[in-house]
Amino acid sequence: MRHDPSADDLICRILAGERVPLARAISQVENEAPDAVAILDACFERSGRAFRVGITGPPGAGKSTLVTRLAQAWRRRGETVAIVAVDPTSPFSGGALLGDRVRMGELSGDEGVFIRSMATRGSMGGLAVHTAQACDVLDAAGFSRILIETVGVGQSELEVAQTADSTAVVLVPESGDTVQAMKAGLMEIGDLFVINKADREGAERAAFAVRSALELRPGGAAWAPPVLLTVASQGTGVEEVLERFEAHLEYLRGLGGLDRRRRQRLEQRLRDLLRGQLWEEFQARVPADAWREVLASLAARELTPHDAVASLFARFGAPTGGPYADVEEGSEGS
């Protein structure tokens, strides 16, 4: 794919670890700028080395504080750390509402840390569509640890599990948060569970409740997710969380699990890209008046949604395979 020659210079500077070009490249990826594909292709070849860690859980659990402490702990070990903070989208600007430097100001000035806030852009999952691609850029830039913090609402917990190599679910002692998190399906995706703000009453009860819930998970896995107590604001328990993350990384490497997770992640990305491109190509073939006509028929209950799809495929081209593949050209849905 052709791109602006200036993209080559930008790519070289990204791979050299320069910060300003790195921020600019991630913005181009987020905004799907003309050079985004060239940047992503170049970075993809150099990615796959960083350990990607997901931090998720209900709002107010202290995820940002824990992320800050983990970043500091990894820096003390000589690791370079990138943080992708996925924030609620501003309805006015489309950008992240929460400023990264406001929440993680203690890390500013450290050349070994790069922080990026990304907007969810209203997606159901709360995890920006381009987060995984941004992680590829950061990976190629040489960061050895990438922390991905999610909003912790809706489907974002499942999305971060697909984006990260290892995921920690952060909860607080209050039983309501713990029970709600269990209902959201977090018990299935966590590799670690952290009861933060453990200086509050009820921390041990919450930890017991999580351990009891974990016993109901399907057996057979050699990795037993630990349930850890932390007071991230004071740094208490953070080193143990880091140690368990590193232990999980070694566990995955030893059994080939890391490669499997990354292949699954690539498969999901391939599906997402294909789905998006197929939709864009099909949408480009459908005139606006035809689209409005079908919508009007749907609203009047003259067509069912499946009939509407069959009608559009018949008139503007159906994909091969699938439930509408046998729709004949020129036929209309009933």
Closest CA to 323 of 305, 298, 299, 301: 305
Among 78-87, 126-135, 244-253, 266-275, the minimum mean pLDDT is found in: 126-135
Question: Among 7-11, 199-203, 267-271, 296-300, whose mean pLDDT is lowest?
Answer: 267-271
- So what's the pLDDT on residue 98? 47
Q: Is residue 2 very low, low, confident or very high in pLDDT (cuts 50, 70, 90)? A: very low
- Separation CA 161–CA 156 (nearest Å): 9
User: Confidence class of residue 60 from pLDDT cuts 50, 70 and 90?
Assistant: confident
Residue 261 inside a domain? The answer is no
Helix (H, G, I), strand (E, B) or coil at 262: helix
**By CB neighbour count within 10 A (0-12 exposed, 13-18 middle, 19+ buried), where does 260 fall?**
exposed
Where does the chain have alpha helices with state H? Answer: 6-15, 19-30, 36-45, 63-76, 100-103, 131-140, 156-163, 175-183, 186-189, 203-214, 238-255, 257-285, 288-299, 305-316
Q: Are residues 100 and 124 in the same domain?
A: yes
Q: Are residues 21 and 98 in the same domain?
A: no
CB under 8 Å, gap of 24 or more: what pairs does 329-334 form? 333/303, 333/304, 333/306, 333/307, 333/308, 333/309, 334/303, 334/307
- Which 8-state DSSP code applies to residue 106? G
55 and 40 belong to one structural domain = no
Query: What is residue 68's predicted lDDT score, i.e. its pLDDT?
Result: 94
> At how many degrees (to 10) do helices 156-163 and 131-140 cross?
30
User: Tokens 């987060």 correspond to what residue?
Assistant: 131
The two structure tokens encoding residue 48: 């796959």
Average of pLDDT values for 229-248? Answer: 97
Please count the structural domains in the chain.
Answer: 2
pLDDT value at residue 319 = 58
* CB neighbour list of residue 68: distance below 8 Å, 6 or more residues apart: 103, 104, 106, 107, 232
Residue 228 pLDDT exceeds 60: yes
Residue 180: pLDDT band (50, 70, 90) is low
Report the chain's mean pLDDT, rounded to a whole number.
Answer: 83
In a domain, 214, yes or no: yes
pLDDT, mean of residues 324-333: 43
Specify whether the CB–CB gap between 76 and 238 falls below 8 A.
no
Q: What does the alpha-carbon distance between residue 141 and residue 243 come to, in Å, rounded to a whole number?
A: 25
Asked if pLDDT for residue 148 goes beyond 50, the answer is yes
pTM of the entire predicted model = 0.82
**Residue 42 and residue 11 in contact, taking contact as beta carbons nearer than 8 Å:** yes
At which of 218, 234, 255 does a domain end? Answer: 255
Residues 38 and 137 in one domain: no
Neighbours of 217 (CB within 10 A): 13
> Is there a single domain that holds both residue 156 and residue 101?
yes
Between CA 239 and CA 72 the distance in angstroms is: 10
Asked whether residue 26 falls in the same domain as residue 126, the answer is no
Contacts of 274 (CB under 8 A, 6+ apart): none
Range of the domain at 230: 47-255
Count of C-beta atoms within a 10 Å radius of residue 37: 15
* Residue of higher predicted confidence among 32 and 82: 82
CATH number for the domain harbouring residue 125: 3.40.50.300
